[in-house]
Structure 1
Amino acid sequence: MMKPEDVAHYLRKNPQFFDDYAEMLADIRIPHPYEGRVISISERQMISLREKNRQLQVKLHELINIGENNDKISEKMHRLAVALVAFNSLEEMLHGLNNHLRDDFAIPHVALRLWSSNQAASEGQRLEFTPVSDTVHALVDNMTRPYCGPHLADEINQWFGQDAQLLRSFCMIPLRRKHTIGLLVMGSPELERFYPDMGTLYLERLGALITGALTRLKNKG
């Protein structure tokens, strides 16, 4: 007994079949995919083409939206890069960075820790230079890329103070050039703001920009 797969295989191998039996195309009726009635092959082909066109339109709009979002992020990154180059002191840079992340990137919850150095004593008075545990040092040293997701180590979570209980997703960006100099952590009350499968290209670039500015200003001091 011939199977449906055999019929399909035969028609693919013998496209001239419908030239020889063209009248069959007008007689064959097949189920409508949505309305439960029978239709001709040509009508079914038109429905398939419309569906494919709709799917392509959806995909095109998705790609356009992705491109527009990337353009917006690139513009924000450019503004931040210009600002980081213009900062003349570490104090100014740290203050300006928080403003940019809050106002331009809509990230109001930011925690930054920088590993201690032989800077002036006033440096130690800033929250950013609060010492962290060896566990955090090891965690950051072992990071190969930014982390995005719902979990933070308790010690790092405490950096957000009372706001920590409001936050549901986080991004951790190691600040590193030849060696690690700190950790930038961003938090959001939205669970999907920083999710595990999100791309990290722009986050890596953000870390590189901040690391470069910090290294320049710390060496300048």
Structure 2
Amino acid sequence: MAELNTQAKEAAAPKLNEREIVAYLKAHPDFLARHPDLLESIELKHRSGSAVSLIEKQVELLRAKNQRLEDRLERLLEAARDNERRQDNVHRLARTLIRAPTLAGVAAGLAKCMREDFDIDATLIGIGAAHYKRHDIEGIVPIEPDGRLARALDDFFRTRLIECGPIDAERAQLLFPKATAIRSAAIVPLEKEKSLGFVALGSREAERFAPRQGKLFLELTADLVAAAVRART
């Protein structure tokens, strides 16, 4: 009879579904702290088929979370170190161009900084023929309105927009005649509104310059080069 009464009581007791249990545990986060024995008695099936206690599972989850946080922190620190290096390199470029005594020094300083600090293999400064007519400085050329260079860069001179991406061998030879195997390049206007000219940067890496890459560094470089050129022409 006692057994029948117990069964009747169990049948009459309301049954909780999983959602209600989850809601209760969320509403009472200290439940397991008040019943620590459950941490060791509750088992979770592992994918391998073995069972682990709830506390072991929590430790595993915490370790995984900690590893993700450490990885994210390392990425942030590496990005910060990269930004610091770029900032130092840009400062060096600015100092080099400011201190250059001549246009030849500007061209040589630009090429050296780009090569040593930014892994850029070739450079060229093009200046409108109205401002510059010499042909004796390596790394600087005059841009004749009907010249070969102006014709090859017709779209650039028409839009005055930065061009970045792969470069064909013919155009690479025109811009960087003393460099070999230039596969990507960036062409950036100098004083866009005044059409002073351009600065071209070339790389042997096909993906060094890409159409959708950030333009801040290129614009900053162009501003520095334009200021150095203006001060010496």
TM tier, smaller: 0.7 to 0.9
CA distance in 1, matches of 2:110, 2:169: 24
Deviations 1:174-218 (A, max 9, x none): 222653322222222223423455433333222221111112212
Count of aligned pairs: 210
What does 1:63-78 align with in structure 2 at a 5 Å threshold? Answer: 63-78=76-91
Q: What are structure 1's unaligned runs of at least 5 residues?
A: none
Aligned-partner residue type, residue 52 of structure 2:
I
CA distance in 2, matches of 1:2, 1:196: 59
Segments of 4+ in structure 1 off by > 6 A?
none
Aligned-partner residue type, residue 41 of structure 2:
D
Aligned to 2:26: 12
CA distance in 2, matches of 1:90, 1:197: 32
Contact kept? 2:168, 2:183, Cα under 8 Å: no
Shift of 1:124: 5.2
Aligned to 1:31: 45
Aligned to 1:61: 74
Alignment partner of 1:129: what SS? strand
CA distance in 1, matches of 2:16, 2:86: 58
Shift of 1:45: 1.1
Report whether the alignment pairs 1:138 with 2:153: no
Aligned to 1:45: 58
Contact kept? 1:124, 1:130, Cα under 8 Å: no
Alignment partner of 1:100: what SS? helix
Aligned-partner residue type, residue 80 of structure 2:
G
TM-score by length of 1: 0.75
CA distance in 2, matches of 1:128, 1:2: 83
Aligned to 1:80: 93
TM-score by length of 2: 0.72
Shift of 1:20: 6.4
Aligned-partner residue type, residue 176 of structure 2:
F
Aligned to 2:113: 100
Report whether the alignment pairs 1:199 with 2:199: no
Alignment partner of 1:117: what SS? coil
Larger RCO, structures 1/2 (Cα 8 Å, 6+ apart): 1
Contact kept? 2:121, 2:204, Cα under 8 Å: no
Contact kept? 1:177, 1:211, Cα under 8 Å: no
Shift of 1:50: 0.9
Report whether the alignment pairs 1:129 with 2:142: yes
Higher Cα Rg, which structure = 2
Shift of 1:171: 2.6
Shift of 1:81: 1.1
Deviations 1:16-71 (A, max 9, x none): 544665543322111346x5522111111111111111111112222222222222
Q: Which has the higher helix share?
A: 1
Deviations 1:140-187 (A, max 9, x none): x2x2xx5543357975774234857x3333333322265332222222
CA distance in 2, matches of 1:92, 1:213: 10
Taking only aligned residues, the RMSD between alpha carbons, in angstroms, comes to: 3.3
Instruction: Describe the shift of the 1:137–1:196 C-alpha distance in structure 2 as closer, same or farther (beyond 3 A).
Output: closer
